[in-house]
Amino acid sequence: MSNELIISATQDGCRIALLKDKTLVEFHNEEEGTKFTVGDIYLGTVKKVVQGLNAAFIDVGYDKDAFLHYLDLGPQFSSLQKFTKLVRAKKINGGKLDKFTPEADIDKHGKITQQLSKNQLIPVQIVKEPISTKGPRLSCELSLAGRYLVLVPFSNAVSVSKKITSSEERKRLLRLIQSIKPPNFGVIIRTVAENKEVAELDRDLRSMVTTWEEGMTRLVNAQPREKIIGELDKTSSLLRDMLNESFDNIQVDDKKIYDDVKTYIHTIAPDKEKIVKLYNGKAKIFEHFGIERQIKSAFGQTVSLRAGGYLIIEHTEALHVIDVNSGNKSNREENQETTALSVNMEAAKEIARQLRLRDMGGIIVVDFIDMKNPENKKLIFKIMKDEMQDDKAKSTVLPLSKFGLMQITRERVRPQMNIATKEVCPTCNGTGKITASILVSDLIEKNIEHLLVKQNEKDLVLALHPYLFAYFTNGFISERMRWYLKYKRWVKMVKDTSMGITEYKFLNKEGEEIQLTS
């Protein structure tokens, strides 16, 4: 199985696609300056303590105050409070905890009013990004994620991922980490640490300790709402969490992002540096790898299955509903039960991909096609559980009910990815009134004449829908050839399926869009 990461630069950030065997399984749209990412640590101010909820609302700079429940304070909250006061009073330099005396753990059945008061300053970590009408969800149980380890300040516990099943390996990792970890830091050993050498684990641990110390240096003079420790950008965090032996290709179309990715991979996995490649193809990178087409087909309300069935995906404020339909598949199988099983098996695999691709969270109800055989129902349940194994988000899958419904809960820590696949009519712009579409060719030629003759543009590029591309390039004496004979200059054309059928734009030799006056 091949894993590829394709990164396309945009004006205000980048788009990231993860492909498994050329099929899109994750898509992220990262914008520069995006605040309140999961993992960020801020200096928050307590705005309101609500005894009835046993929670507090904290100002971290978002439009709505963030939510902090008592249970999210963490057992070591008293130690965090004491350390914060000492650092801000400059009685402790840096973030070293070797000479710090931790406080006793707080009572897990205690009250929020015993720990927090209005206008109090506390370091808080984002555990859920702002979703819909809700502000961020916070925790005071701070942790820093590395590639192999997670660092937990003010704790001394060392724990190993349950997915590492070998007792010998578990003992080796426990013994190893306990011998190298600094005092008053706890460590969670991630699954990918299995069979790793001590040098790699030590380098990862030192990197996180350095990040912590730099953050605590900023804490000394930090203002309320200020970010103390920032999580990695989406590209780097994806690489940190997913880069393994099965990764065989990372393609980037921007030199700066290429350099950043190469530098980061050199830090975390020098042997993988050679898989990073700078894309220089003529077509857009997402067009070249067929990602644009997959995005358009995967994010609609109706999702087609290869064998003929289809899914209908509906979103509400409370939950997500997915309906499985057989479509024209029912004409091909021997009987109804065989048809239902065949469609449901394919649907289960596609649903698991859709949950990850759209980052759907909360409660998901799937209405599979009814099946009478209990063994078939168990098989669909097993397929769904197996397909969800690769998903980083925590999830719970329940067996099919007697009504053929499956209930799934999936951890929701950031807003769901939504992409509009229904386009505004390019000829009427949603007004319902159009000009004759045949005029588009006249408009394009008029603009070409203006750009080549009056503005004297060199190396002009025309980006347009594949249908228009075919119209202008078809035949030996094509429209484009006619322009060349008339203006003595060649107009380069590129197909762009993300554009409407009568949309087009001109680019200069630097690849920047030329603004046309109407």
Q: How many helices (DSSP H) and strands (DSSP E) are in the chain? A: 12, 24
Whether 198 and 206 have beta carbons less than 8 Å apart is answered as no
E-strand stretches of 270-404: 276-278, 302-304, 310-315, 319-325, 362-367, 395-397
Please measure the distance between the N-terminal and C-terminal CA atoms of the chain and give it in whole angstroms: 50
Query: Which residue stretches of the chain have pLDDT < 70?
Result: 1, 32-35, 232-235, 238, 241-246, 328-334, 413-438, 517-518
Token duo for residue 391? 């998903």
pTM assigned to the model: 0.68
Q: Going by C-beta distance under 8 Å and a sequence separation of 6 or more, which residues neighbour residue 230? A: 37, 40, 41
Token duo for residue 351? 């649903």
Q: In this predicted structure, what is the pLDDT of residue 418?
A: 62
Q: Going by C-beta distance under 8 Å and a sequence separation of 6 or more, which residues neighbour residue 224? A: 43, 44, 45, 59, 121
Whether 206 and 180 have beta carbons less than 8 Å apart is answered as no
Specify the length of the chain in residues: 518
Separation between Cα atoms, residue 109 and residue 118, nearest integer Å: 21
Q: Going by C-beta distance under 8 Å and a sequence separation of 6 or more, which residues neighbour residue 126? A: 36, 37, 38, 39, 40, 41, 42, 60, 66, 136, 137, 138
Whether 362 and 409 have beta carbons less than 8 Å apart is answered as yes
Quote the longest CA-to-CA distance of the chain.
85
Separation between Cα atoms, residue 467 and residue 284, nearest integer Å: 17
Radius of gyration of the chain (CA): 28
Q: Alpha helices, DSSP H only, in 281-335?
A: 285-288, 291-298
